[in-house]
Amino acid sequence: IRGRIIRYDGYNAYLDIGKAEGFLPKDEQVKSENYDVNSSYTVYLKEISDDKFGNQHIIVSRTDPRLIEELFKKEVPEMGNNTVEIKKTVREPGERAKIAVASSHGAVDPVGACVGQKGVRVQTVTDEFSGKEKIDIIQWNKDDKLFIIAALAPAKVTDVTLDKTGKRAVISVDESQAPLAIGRGGVNVNLASKLTGYILDIKQIKAATATPDTTKSTSEEETKQK
């Protein structure tokens, strides 16, 4: 739903969403956004609850992954007729998001359907976040190894070793690809981990020897600690 900021107390924002008022708490706000009075935003209606006095509270969100899903559903007709399905969406609000999509029809490319001609569909969604949140659209795959490789885009992965029982994976990449695989502040590997359900350990391969350099590795757990 679309709402207009009617007041902001420095922590929480309140929006006019038609015949009601939406409450946008601090933890549902994107840190890089400024919620100036009279500015308009598309928000996700997250919860409707009553307080002890019987007053209704409508909680809305700018950080919920379902906001991106609903925006894509508006732009992609193939989602409306169930040809393209969103499998999972993960976000680092204001920085990056990854959305896994699948097609029920072999002739329809789910990634291409979401991107649109000349990127117009994904750009429309990105514009809702002032172009600041990069969105990676990834084809879902039931093969965990192939899904992990796709999820780590734009990095090129050399090899993946899976531990399906422990839900861990060792990802071998060339040294030049390691920064892309990890991402700024670990955002790419962290989102790929959330999307695939695996803890990902990035190991760099020296081009000269083509063997893993175990002295240079970064796991999804380590990036969270930094």
Q: Please classify residue 16 by burial: count the beta carbons closer than 10 Å to its beta carbon, then call 0-12 exposed, 13-18 middle and 19+ buried.
A: middle
134: buried, middle or exposed (CB in 10 Å: 19+, 13-18, 0-12)? Answer: middle
pTM value? 0.85
User: Would you say 109 and 163 are in contact if contact means Cβ atoms under 8 Å apart?
Assistant: no
Whole-number Å distance between alpha carbons of 139 and 112: 10
Q: Which CATH number describes the domain made up of 64-140?
A: 3.30.300.20
Q: Note the pLDDT of residue 98.
A: 98
Say what the pLDDT of residue 49 is.
83
The three state secondary structure string of the chain is CEEEEEEECCCCEEEECCCCEEEECHHHCCCCCCCCCCCEEECEEEEEEECCCCCEEEEEECCCHHHHHHHHHHHCHHHHCCCEEEEEEEEECCCEEEEEEEECCCCCCHHHHHHCHHHHHHHHHHHCCCCCCEEEEEECCCCHHHHHHHHCCCCCEEEEEEECCCCEEEEEEEHHHHHHHHCHHHHHHHHHHHHHCCEEEEEEECCCCCCEEEEEEEEHHHHHHC
Q: Could you tell me if 89 and 114 are in contact, meaning their C-beta atoms sit under 8 angstroms apart?
A: no
CATH for 142-226, options being 3.40.50.2000, 3.60.9.10, 3.30.300.20, 2.40.110.10: 3.30.300.20
Distance of CA 70 to the CA centre of its chain: 13
Strands 21-24 and 56-61: parallel
Strand partners, 3: 41
pLDDT at residue 214 in the model: 45
Digitized pLDDT (tens) for each residue of the chain, 226 residues in all: 999 999 998 899 999 999 889 999 999 999 999 999 999 999 999 999 877 777 788 999 999 999 999 999 999 999 999 999 999 999 999 999 999 999 998 899 999 999 999 999 999 999 999 999 999 999 999 999 999 999 999 999 999 999 999 999 999 999 999 999 999 999 999 999 999 999 999 999 886 554 555 444 555 555 555 5
Q: Do 64-140 and 142-226 share a fold?
A: yes
Contact 25, 64 (CB under 8 A): no
Q: Which tokens is 107 given?
A: 């002739």
* Domain spans in the chain, listed from the N-terminal domain onward: 2-61, 64-140, 142-226
What's the CATH fold of domain 2-61? Answer: OB fold (Dihydrolipoamide Acetyltransferase, E2P) (2.40.50)
CA separation (Å) from 117 to 76, 98, 180, 181, 220?
A: 11, 20, 26, 27, 34
